[in-house]
Amino acid sequence: MRVLVTGGNGQLGHDVANRLAARGMEYKSVDIADFDLTDEGQVMEAVREYQPDAIIHCAAFTAVDRAEEEQALCRAVNAGGTAHIRKAAEAVGAKLMYISTDYVFPGTGTQFYKPDDPASPCNFYGQSKWEGEQALSGYPKLFIVRISWVFGKNGGNFVKTMLRLAETREEVSVVDDQIGSPTYTFDLARLLCDMIVTEKYGVYHATNEGICSWADFAEAIFAGAGCKTRVKRIASAEYPAKAARPMNSRLDKEKLTENGFERLPDWQDALKRYLKEIL
């Protein structure tokens, strides 16, 4: 199987490419320097040239606050670019895996969102990713995998931000009323590679097991890194941001079990392994 990975320089795409290599699978990793997702011609040419059997589409506009100000670009990448990937995948008959987000949901309540629950994004980034999902509607060989709170070795993330702040601060304010599940890209990449070799198509949710608040996550980071920095727990209202954030990012992952996929380890275990990798 030949696999094309978009967003290969990002946190997830980097780990997906490494996992494919470790499995001895033939793959090509591409990023913005290779083609512009918003240019249909470039996308078609790149895909036709490589002739992949599967495309794992990790590339996206992910700057959540910037998305509110750069809506046209965000939509062009996340919705238009995904439509271009679909057209190219159709041209070569490839399986297609689209990486989506918990932000497609309204983020209210305390329930675990199921894959078929109604979407109602709370910000423009979530809206653009939902439009990307819609652009793929009806594709016969499609996986949609929604993820949340991602951290990995390649690129910036919440863990690295907390560690950087801990170098100069005795106390860091972190919201404690947004609840979700961290997702380690190393663990997620294994699952995505497990999935792409099957034909168990559909919409899935995938995060590390367990839930926490951002404040809980920050405390675990400081404890795991041996930092003495304290966490001041605050409400989201005390931390103004351009884009609204979901208060509830709980995702139901039972569909993974139902289809025979091994779920990801607990987030605390993932964090421990990650800190060992980067410290």
What are 184-209's pLDDT values in tens digits? 999 999 999 999 999 999 999 999 99
* Residue 125 falls in the annotated catalytic set: yes
Domains of the chain: 2-157+182-209+250-265 (3.40.50.720)
Catalytic entry in 27, 50, 125, 184: 125
Tokens 């039972």, located at residue: 254
| pLDDT interval class at 4 (50, 70, 90) | very high
Largest Cα span, the chain: 56
Cα separation values, 120 from 98, 124, 269, Å: 19, 11, 32
Instruction: Find all residues with CB under 8 Å of 176, minimum gap 6, and list them.
Output: 213, 214, 215, 216, 233, 234, 235
Q: Give the other-Cβ count within 10 Å of 68's Cβ.
A: 16
User: With 90 as the cut, is the pLDDT of residue 141 above it?
Assistant: yes
By the 10 Å C-beta count (0-12 exposed, 13-18 middle, 19+ buried), 170 is classed as exposed
User: With 90 as the cut, is the pLDDT of residue 212 above it?
Assistant: yes
User: With 90 as the cut, is the pLDDT of residue 64 above it?
Assistant: yes
CA–CA separation, 97 and 86 (whole Å):
10
- pLDDT at site 229: 98
| pLDDT interval class at 81 (50, 70, 90) | very high
Average pLDDT of the chain? Answer: 97
The average pLDDT across 203-223 equals 98
The average pLDDT across 4-23 equals 97
The average pLDDT across 116-124 equals 97
| pLDDT interval class at 135 (50, 70, 90) | very high
The average pLDDT across 30-49 equals 96
| pLDDT interval class at 86 (50, 70, 90) | very high
The average pLDDT across 122-147 equals 98
Rg of the chain in Å (alpha carbons):
18
Give the type of residue at 252.
Answer: D
User: With 90 as the cut, is the pLDDT of residue 107 above it?
Assistant: yes
Between CA 199 and CA 96, with CA 76 as vertex, the angle to 5 degrees is: 10
- pLDDT at site 144: 98
Q: In the chain, pLDDT over 70 holds for what percent of residues?
A: 100
User: With 90 as the cut, is the pLDDT of residue 240 above it?
Assistant: no
Would you give the DSSP letter of residue 103?
Answer: G
User: With 90 as the cut, is the pLDDT of residue 168 above it?
Assistant: yes
